[in-house]
Amino acid sequence: MKLGELIEIIIDTRGQQYDEEFLTGWLNEIEGQAVDEVINQAEGYNIAFVPYDYTRDAERKLQIPDRFRDVYINYLYAKIDFGNQETERYNNDVAMYNASYEAYAAWFRREHKPKKRAMFSRF
């Protein structure tokens, strides 16, 4: 999925109360987290996360595969609902986000070998 496609889904489903750049800023939070916590923990991966800029990167492909796009959607829904002080919707969105993120992370870890950690002796 591309950045512009994701933002379009969010605007179509929740309206445009937040502009594309604002939504992209929130997307950078979860994309950076996925790169640091999941992707870069696998052997052969060492991605330097470069934050997205909507005007420049609308056609840039996101890191998490399309089959796990709910990670992005639920995260952005949660941020919108938190900003709008819609507590019940926020709680539901966060629960859905956590489940989708864990499903993605578990899949990625099953499909990729973890990096070997250096062992240091204290002596």
- Print pLDDT tens along the chain (123 aa): 999 999 999 999 999 999 999 999 999 999 999 999 999 999 999 999 999 999 999 999 999 999 999 999 999 999 999 999 999 999 999 999 999 999 999 999 999 999 987 666 565
Judge whether 120 lies within some domain.
no
Judge whether 20 lies within some domain.
yes
Judge whether 37 lies within some domain.
yes
Map 72-87 to HEC letters: HHHHHHHHHHHHCCCH
Judge whether 121 lies within some domain.
no
Number of structural domains in the chain: 1
Judge whether 122 lies within some domain.
no
- Domain of 81, in residue numbers: 3-111
Judge whether 97 lies within some domain.
yes
For residue 31, how far is the Cα from the chain centroid? 4
Residue 74: partners with Cβ closer than 8 Å, 6 or more residues away: 93, 94, 96, 97, 100
Judge whether 14 lies within some domain.
yes
